[in-house]
Each structure stands twice: as structure tokens, then as C-alpha cells.
């Protein structure tokens, strides 16, 4: 029981203090564990119960100041217990959330690790591996147990283990990022290059708690790099070589330029000299064209020769009219030939028709007419229209022991001009004494035939090619004259001549041999081609109508004798006689036919048999 107003005042004060402390504790508890409303109300109910108990005690005993304080502290202690319990529950929930978050992060990391093409790895602070992505297991064939911790080093190339471990230990010791290249053995036993990079993960205090990194296959890059380095090396060597060659080439060009300058000077001097000599040669040619006889030609040639060829001795030898001897016509610079007269076969230039050089001391093919000459000498044939007229003989001297090849063109031109002048003079002489054309038919006459036979026979023999000869005679020509008159006979001759010209090649020669006889010379034609040409001429003439004063004189036929070089002879006379004999044989056998001459042996036997029958 409460006695007096003083006790009731203390009781009211204790209740007020308990209420204030309770609400303060509940407010603090609400801030710490606001989500646990049920616990909050339970603890509030406990606080109210404790306060009621205090009021009952205070009612049972005499209230004192200490009792009032005890009654107020009881609910506070109850609420303090509530706060402590809430804090422990909150700490446990946070730890569970952190563990779940860590598991989720690890799962995400492993998912990413399996998705990227590079090998991802993590290691503990001491460097031992605690995670490797599946790409390593697939490539190396190792299991997770074999590769973790330090087992992965067994897959390294033996030559790369020390370097790799040295750099890894250095990074672990210093905390610096790792970067190293090494070869890893694959499941097939082959090694490939990998680039490994790693970085440390630190806590709030800066201490390394983990390592994370990648392992990238760089085999192709390494191979390409090696190829590139090799190409760079080769290119560098090429550039160095090119630079060396360029320097050498520049030096050589400088030397070549100096040599070229010297050569240009020599060339200019040589060209000046050649120009002067060419001018002299041209002047000699003009002078030779005005010569009227061979004496003037050789006098002019011997006068110009020392000026055109000042460094060599020389002489001129000509064939006589019979062409069986070559006679010395003159010389310059005291050139001496051992013999002044010699046979044409004694000179190789006359034999071959080409310049012949004999070097001093060479005994391969010396000319007999120069026997005893010790210096180098050159014989150039003097030719005109394919016919040799003589030789131009040059000898080297002690001052100029070599006959330069560059001089050959001058020497051949000199010989050609002399030969052309001699030929022109001979031709003019021949034209003055005879005509080469038949006035009735326009064909070449018999004299021209003889010249052409001589020329073409020599040419064929020298060049070793064929030469065909046709001897043609009009059948019953006297009958035409008697029946239609001589004018009709002339018409037949002209028409026959025209057909012959049209039936042969441009290089063939058609001549009127005499009367109603014609001769056709076929250069470079063998016996078969000559016989075929004769048959075509005979057939064409037989089919050609001949008109005189608008009237046909009848069919004209022809008999042909065929001969060819070398089968029927190698001389003009022999060929013509053989062809003529074949012609008369055709006449005897009925005319209007082509007869090929018999070989010389058979023809002689036939002639003997005929004489025996007589």
C-alpha cells in the first residue's frame, strides 16, 4: 500500500522513467532491425510486463529511490537484449548473402572463362593455380587434378620451364604483372607457343590475395612473326647487297664513263678518219665511172689506194681474157707478190668468191700466189655481175701488224667499185660491137645467149645448183613460108616468141638462136623442172591460134630438146650441143614432142652405133 503523497510521487516518477527508457530502446531497436517487426513487438510486450512487475513490487514494498531506478532499468535491459539479438541475426543474413553473391560471381566467371577463346586462369597469392578454363584441358589432355597447383608446368617445353618459372616467381615476389611466352604440349604431343599475361588482385590494404590472367595461343602469330622477321632479314640483306652493288655499279659507271669518254674521243677520231676515207672512196667511184678503158680504171684505183689504205700495202691482179691466168696490174707501198702471174686456183678468194684472210703464221689455207709472205694478208675478189675479174691483195706491215675487221667494208667496197667499173667498160665495149636483141622477135640474140650461158654456167657450177636449157624448133616452118608467105612466117615467129616470154619466169632467159630455133635458159632449174616447163610450152603453143591478116595459119607445133647441168655437161658449149642433139632426135621421132638428152656416155655410145650402121 502506498502511504502518503511522497510515495505516490516516486511511483509516478519510476513509471515515467520506464516509459521513456522503453520508448528510447524501442526506437534504437527499430533502427537496427526495422525488418523484424514481430520480434520488436514481443520485446515491447516483455518490457511492459517487466514494468508491471516493478509496479507490483513497488506496491508491496516501500518505494525508495533505488527501487524506482531498478523498475526503470528493467525494461531497458530487456530491450538491450533484443537489440543484441537483432544485430546477430542481421550479421548472419549478411554473411549468407555475401556467400551467395560469391558463388554467383564465381559461376559467372567460370561461364565467361569457358566462352572466351583464350585460356583463363586464377592463382593463389603464392602462385599455385586454383582455376583453369576447359580450353587447357581440351588442348593438353590433362585433367583438372593434374593441372592444378603446379602440375601445369609438366606440359611446358623443357627448354621453356626455367624461363617461365623465373618470371612467375619474380612477379609473385614483386607484385608486377606477368607476361611470358612459352610452348605448351598438346594432346597430340606437338608444342604450340602461348602468350601468358597475369595481374594481381589486391585487398584494401594492398596485399595480393589472388592472381588472374589469360593464356593465348600465339603459334600462328609466332609463325607469321618468324616469317616476317625472315623476310625482313632477307630484305635487309637484299637492300645491303643492292646498296653494295649500287655503290659498285656507281664506281663501275664512273670508270665506264671515263672509258666511254676515251672511247668517244677515239671513235670521233676514227669516224673523222673514216669520213675522210669514205669521201676519197666516193671521189674514186665518180672518177671510175668516167674511165673509158681498164687501163684508166687501174691507174685511178692504184692512185687512190695509198690514200684510202695508208697503213697497209696492197696490189691488184686481174684475170686475162682467157680467164686462165691472173696477172699483177699494179701495187702500192712497195707491196711485193712472190709471183706476178698465177693461176686463179692459186687464190682462195677467187675459188670461193669471198674475202679470204690469212693470219701471219697460220698454215690452214694459205694462198699459193702469196707463198713466202710473212705478214698477215687479205685477198678480196673483184667481181662484177657475179663474175670474178681479179683480186685486191692487202698485206699488213710491221707498224700495223693486224688487218682490222672494220677495214673490211672499205676494202670490199673498193674492190666492188673497181669491178663494177671494169664490168661497165667491158659491157660498153660489147655494146659497141654487137646488139643483144633480135629485131624481129624482141628476144635476145645468139651472141647474148653465149654470154648468158657462160655467166649462168659459171654461177651454177660455183653455187652448185641446177641450170636447165631448152632448144626449141618450129615444126614445118618452111611450109608456113611457102604456103602463106614470109610475112606469115614472121608472124609465127613473133607469136612464138611472145608465148615463150609469157611461159617462163622473170629470171629465165629466152633467146632466138637462129632461123626458127629458140633457146631458153632456166637458172636454178633441175632436169625434172626443165622437162615439165618444156611440156607446158609445147602444149600451150599447140593450143594457141596464130592469125595472119585475120586468117588462121593453122596449128603451130614445136619440137624441144632438153638438157640440164650437171647431168649433161658443165660448159655452155656442152649443154647447147646436148640440147641440140635431143632436138634433132625429137625431129626424127615425129616432131611435136619433148625429148630429154641422153647422158654424155649414152649419147657417145649411140653416136658410135649410128656411125657403125652407116
How confident is the chain (614 residues) per 10-residue block, as mean pLDDT? Answer: 54 59 54 49 52 52 56 60 72 73 63 71 89 85 87 89 91 91 90 92 89 89 88 90 89 88 86 84 86 84 86 87 86 84 90 89 88 88 83 87 80 85 80 74 89 92 92 88 84 90 92 92 93 93 82 85 92 92 92 88 51 47
**Same structural domain for residues 31 and 180?**
no
**Same structural domain for residues 383 and 402?**
yes
Closest CA to 373 of 394, 343, 404, 399: 394
- pLDDT for position 614: 42
Q: Does 100 fall in a domain?
A: no
- pLDDT for position 34: 47
Tell which of 217, 249, 274 closes a domain: 217
In terms of pTM, does the model score above 0.75? no
C-alpha cell at 11: 511511483
Enter the DSSP assignment of 598.
P
Residue 555 CA to chain centroid, in angstroms? 69
**Same structural domain for residues 493 and 572?**
yes
Closest CA to 571 of 472, 469, 471: 469
**Same structural domain for residues 178 and 296?**
no
Residue 404 sits at φ, ψ, to 5 deg, of -65, 145
> CB of 444 within 8 A of CB of 511?
yes
Q: How many domains does the chain have?
A: 4
**Same structural domain for residues 322 and 191?**
no
Count the helices and strands in the chain (H runs, E runs). 16, 18
Determine the straight-line distance between the first and last CA of the chain, rounded to whole angstroms: 212
Length of the chain: 614
Q: Does 328 fall in a domain?
A: yes
CATH code of residue 491: 3.30.70.270
**Same structural domain for residues 26 and 73?**
yes
**Same structural domain for residues 323 and 462?**
no
Q: Does 276 fall in a domain?
A: no
**Same structural domain for residues 424 and 449?**
no
**Same structural domain for residues 11 and 122?**
no
CA angle 496, 501, 506 (to 5 degrees): 170
- pLDDT for position 597: 92
CATH code of residue 393: 3.30.450.40
Residue 168 three-state SS: helix
C-alpha cell at 397: 706491215
C-alpha cell at 76: 531497458
Q: Does 169 fall in a domain?
A: yes
Closest CA to 303 of 320, 283, 274: 283
Closest CA to 376 of 355, 356, 400, 360: 360
- pLDDT for position 35: 43
Tell which of 94, 124, 150 closes a domain: 94
Q: Does 519 fall in a domain?
A: yes
The domain of 64 spans 4-94
Whose cell is 653455187? That residue is 463
Q: Does 273 fall in a domain?
A: no
- Tell me whether strands 558-565 and 594-596 are parallel, antiparallel or unpaired: parallel
- Tell me whether strands 191-202 and 178-185 are parallel, antiparallel or unpaired: antiparallel
Q: What would the DSSP string read from start to end of 289-312?
A: HT--SHHHHHHHHHHHHHHH-TTS
H-helix or E-strand spanning residue 332: strand 326-332
**Same structural domain for residues 381 and 526?**
no
**Same structural domain for residues 351 and 469?**
no
Residue 149 vs residues 42, 101, 111, 162: alpha-carbon distances, Å: 54, 25, 21, 17
Q: Does 243 fall in a domain?
A: no
Q: Does 101 fall in a domain?
A: no
**Same structural domain for residues 461 and 589?**
yes
Tell which of 429, 454, 488 closes a domain: 429
Amino acid at each position: 500500500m502506498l502511504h502518503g503523497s511522497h510515495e505516490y510521487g516516486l511511483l509516478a516518477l519510476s513509471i515515467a522513467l520506464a516509459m521513456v527508457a522503453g520508448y528510447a530502446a524501442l526506437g534504437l531497436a527499430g533502427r537496427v532491425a526495422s525488418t523484424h517487426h514481430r520480434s520488436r513487438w514481443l520485446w515491447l510486450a516483455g518490457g511492459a510486463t517487466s514494468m508491471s512487475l516493478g509496479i507490483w513490487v513497488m506496491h508491496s514494498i516501500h518505494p525508495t529511490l533505488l527501487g524506482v531506478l531498478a523498475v526503470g532499468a528493467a525494461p531497458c535491459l530487456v530491450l538491450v537484449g533484443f537489440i543484441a539479438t537483432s544485430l546477430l541475426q542481421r550479421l548472419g543474413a549478411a554473411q549468407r548473402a555475401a556467400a551467395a553473391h560469391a558463388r554467383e560471381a564465381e559461376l559467372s566467371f567460370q561461364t565467361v572463362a569457358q566462352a572466351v577463346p583464350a585460356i583463363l586462369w586464377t592463382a593463389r597469392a603464392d602462385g599455385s593455380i586454383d582455376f583453369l578454363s576447359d580450353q587447357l584441358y581440351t588442348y593438353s589432355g590433362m585433367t583438372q587434378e593434374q593441372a592444378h597447383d603446379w602440375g601445369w608446368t609438366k606440359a611446358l617445353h623443357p627448354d621453356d620451364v626455367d624461363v617461365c618459372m623465373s618470371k612467375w616467381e619474380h612477379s609473385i615476389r614483386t607484385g608486377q604483372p606477368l607476361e611470358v611466352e612459352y610452348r605448351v604440349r598438346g594432346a597430340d604431343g606437338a608444342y604450340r607457343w602461348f602468350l601468358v599475361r597475369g595481374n594481381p588482385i589486391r585487398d584494401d590494404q594492398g596485399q595480393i590475395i589472388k592472381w588472374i590472367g589469360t593464356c593465348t595461343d600465339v603459334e600462328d602469330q609466332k609463325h607469321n612473326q618468324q616469317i616476317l622477321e625472315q623476310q625482313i632479314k632477307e630484305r635487309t640483306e637484299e637492300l645491303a647487297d643492292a646498296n653494295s652493288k649500287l655503290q659498285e655499279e656507281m664506281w663501275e659507271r664512273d670508270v665506264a664513263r671515263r672509258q666511254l669518254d676515251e672511247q668517244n674521243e677515239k671513235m670521233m677520231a676514227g669516224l673523222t678518219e673514216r669520213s675522210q676515207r669514205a669521201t676519197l672512196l666516193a671521189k674514186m667511184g665518180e672518177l671510175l665511172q668516167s674511165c673509158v678503158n681498164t687501163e684508166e680504171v687501174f691507174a685511178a684505183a692504184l692512185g687512190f689506194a695509198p690514200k684510202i689504205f695508208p697503213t697497209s700495202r696492197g696490189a691488184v691482179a686481174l684475170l686475162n681474157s682467157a680467164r686462165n691466168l691472173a696477172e699483177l696490174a699494179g701495187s702500192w707501198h712497195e707491196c711485193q707478190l712472190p709471183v706476178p702471174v698465177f693461176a686463179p686456183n692459186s687464190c682462195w678468194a677467187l675459188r670461193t668468191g669471198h674475202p679470204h684472210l690469212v693470219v701471219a703464221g697460220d698454215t690452214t689455207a694459205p694462198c699459193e700466189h702469196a707463198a713466202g709472205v710473212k705478214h698477215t694478208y687479205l685477198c678480196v675478189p673483184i667481181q662484177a655481175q657475179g663474175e670474178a675479174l681479179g683480186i685486191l691483195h692487202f698485206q699488213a706491215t710491221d707498224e700495223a701488224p693486224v688487218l682490222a675487221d672494220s677495214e673490211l667494208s672499205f676494202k670490199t667496197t673498193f674492190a666492188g667499185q673497181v669491178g663494177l667499173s671494169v664490168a661497165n667498160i667491158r659491157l660498153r665495149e660489147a655494146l659497141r660491137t654487137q646488139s643483144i636483141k633480135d629485131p624481129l622477135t624482141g628476144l635476145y640474140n645468139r651472141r647474148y645467149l653465149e654470154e648468158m650461158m657462160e655467166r649462168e654456167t659459171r654461177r651454177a657450177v660455183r653455187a652448185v645448183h641446177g641450170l636447165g636449157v631448152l632448144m626449141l624448133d618450129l615444126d614445118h616452118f618452111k611450109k608456113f613460108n611457102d604456103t602463106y608467105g614470109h610475112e606469115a612466117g614472121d608472124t609465127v615467129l613473133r607469136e612464138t616468141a611472145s608465148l615463150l616470154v609469157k611461159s617462163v619466169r622473170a629470171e629465165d632467159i629466152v633467146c632466138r638462136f637462129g632461123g626458127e630455133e629458140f633457146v631458153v635458159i632456166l637458172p636454178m632449174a633441175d632436169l625434172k623442172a626443165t622437162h615439165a616447163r618444156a611440156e607446158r610450152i609445147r602444149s600451150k603453143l599447140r593450143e594457141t591460134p596464130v592469125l595472119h591478116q585475120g586468117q588462121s595459119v593453122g596449128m603451130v607445133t614445136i619440137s624441144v630438146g632438153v638438157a640440164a647441168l650437171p647431168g649433161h655437161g658443165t660448159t655452155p658449149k656442152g649443154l647447147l650441143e646436148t640440147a641440140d642433139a635431143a632436138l634433132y632426135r625429137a625431129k626424127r621421132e615425129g616432131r611435136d614432142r619433148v625429148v630429154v638428152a641422153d647422158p654424155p656416155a649414152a649419147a657417145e655410145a649411140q653416136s658410135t652405133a649410128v656411125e657403125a650402121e652407116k
